[in-house]
Amino acid sequence: MHSFLSEPDLAEVAPRLNALKTAINGVLFGQETLVESVLVGLLARGHLLLEGLPGLGKTALVKGIAQAIGLTSKRIQFTPDLLPGDITGNPILTEQDGQRRFVFQPGPLFSELVLADEINRASPKTQSALLEAMQERQVTVLGETRPLPDPFFVLATQNPIELEGTYPLPEAQLDRFLFKIEVSRNPVSVLERIIQNREIGVDAAVSPVVTVAEFREWIGLTRRVYLPDVVGNFIARLVNATHPGESAAAAGVRFGASPRAALALAAAARGRAFLSGRINASFEDVQALARPVLQHRLVLDYRARVAGRSAADVVAAVLEEVAPAGSPLPASILAAKV
């Protein structure tokens, strides 16, 4: 059993964590909650799916994170004609020492941070090429397996599935994403700030704040955050309550969340505690992160969809039904019920 995180350990990294948050908040104005969610996901060693209309800053955010941490990064623009080999890499016939042989040329997946831009514009066949990479952190081409860098993150952006020319991600693909985060539009005050401080086509300059080795160490420290038994039990009851017949809130759910979702929620709770400067995860961490962790893992039946019920509505109802006594729901969860 590994040792748990201590106050002195956390005190050493707290100023550096705050500096990283400040640097990334300078990339995307008025999106502090989004930035915090993304950092929590990375500390939990997870892959993230950002959903929103074009032009909201999703790509700029990912680029800024890569620069601030010093991660090697590659951007893949997903299009209907993109092939799996375009992502993983392909063997190329080359001549060496007078002999012709196939030499593997790594694709853009061989980077520490991969931006999968507009992932739902590619065909399902190409989308599935990411499955092994995201789960096993390796790529197999022509029977040979090659490890990916450590750390390895996929930050995918997608347009709302109602838009023309999009392909909904399959359930197995969605389950590999730790979070699905909605990127909302900016209010007038933030738009005014963007107009005064940004130019179209010019990315915000971000200087490195931490090193890759340092961030890798933080990931290890995050895994040492203490998760009390009562919080673990709360997570288990929440995930179980998403299944049909296990709670009144699950009415209209065809398939509930998997055990991977429970592990993801525990890892995310640890990440949020670490980012907040605490050595143990709490009920509030679980409640605040239940929606981005669970909503994309629920499959609703036809009647629920016709009635206009969303997966976010189900998560909010499950949280209210299973909530610990005396623990109020966060405002973000209550808003999902409106």
- Does 305 lie in the same domain as 193? no
Model pLDDT, residue 333: 47
Model pLDDT, residue 212: 93
Q: How confident is the model at residue 218 (pLDDT cuts 50, 70, 90)?
A: very high
Average pLDDT, the chain: 85
> Which whole number is the average pLDDT over 316-338?
63
Model pLDDT, residue 4: 87
- Does 234 lie in the same domain as 215? no
Prediction pTM value: 0.86
The whole domain housing 217 covers 1-223
- Does 282 lie in the same domain as 153? no
The residue assigned the tokens 């890892």 is 267
pLDDT greater at residue 334 or residue 221: 221
- Does 302 lie in the same domain as 254? yes
Q: Which helix or strand (DSSP H or E) is residue 253 part of?
A: strand 253-255
The percent helix, strand, coil of the chain (3-state, each to 5) is 45, 15, 35
% the chain with pLDDT above 90:
40
- Does 149 lie in the same domain as 3? yes
Q: Rounded to whole angstroms, how far apart are CA atoms 208 and 195?
A: 25
Q: How confident is the model at residue 197 (pLDDT cuts 50, 70, 90)?
A: confident
- Does 266 lie in the same domain as 141? no
32-36, 195-199, 214-218: lowest mean pLDDT where? 195-199
Model pLDDT, residue 162: 56
- Model confidence over 133-189: pLDDT tens digits? 888 899 888 778 889 999 999 999 887 765 566 777 888 888 899 999 988 777 788
pLDDT greater at residue 104 or residue 232: 232
Q: Rounded to whole angstroms, how far apart are CA atoms 259 and 257?
A: 7
CA distances (Å), 128 to each of 80, 137, 158, 172, in order? 13, 14, 15, 9
Q: Rounded to whole angstroms, how far apart are CA atoms 159 and 165?
A: 10
Domain boundary among 200, 223, 246: 223
Helix (H, G, I), strand (E, B) or coil at 94: strand
- Does 318 lie in the same domain as 231? yes
95-109, 194-208, 242-256: lowest mean pLDDT where? 194-208
- Does 145 lie in the same domain as 23? yes
> How far is Cα of residue 168 from the mean position of the Cα atoms in its chain?
17
Domain boundary among 223, 249, 274: 223
Q: How confident is the model at residue 325 (pLDDT cuts 50, 70, 90)?
A: very low
Q: Rounded to whole angstroms, how far apart are CA atoms 319 and 247?
A: 11
- Does 229 lie in the same domain as 216? no
CA distances (Å), 36 to each of 25, 53, 66, 109, 333, in order? 9, 20, 15, 25, 16
Count up the domains in the chain and report the number.
2
pLDDT greater at residue 102 or residue 329: 102
- Does 156 lie in the same domain as 290? no
- Model confidence over 54-90: pLDDT tens digits? 777 777 888 889 889 999 989 999 888 888 889 998 8
- Model confidence over 267-310: pLDDT tens digits? 999 999 999 999 999 999 999 999 999 999 999 988 888 888 89
The torsion of the CA quartet 187, 190, 194, 195, rounded to 10 degrees, works out to 70
Length of the chain, please?
Answer: 338
Model pLDDT, residue 267: 96
Domain boundary among 223, 255, 280: 223
Helix (H, G, I), strand (E, B) or coil at 105: strand
> Which whole number is the average pLDDT over 8-12?
84
Which CATH number do you get for residue 37? 3.40.50.300
pLDDT surpassing 50 at residue 338 = no
- Does 231 lie in the same domain as 103? no
Helix (H, G, I), strand (E, B) or coil at 278: coil
Q: How confident is the model at residue 326 (pLDDT cuts 50, 70, 90)?
A: very low
Q: How confident is the model at residue 328 (pLDDT cuts 50, 70, 90)?
A: low
Which CATH number do you get for residue 273? 1.10.8.80
- Does 274 lie in the same domain as 219? no
Q: How confident is the model at residue 110 (pLDDT cuts 50, 70, 90)?
A: very high
% the chain with pLDDT above 70:
92
Model pLDDT, residue 302: 87
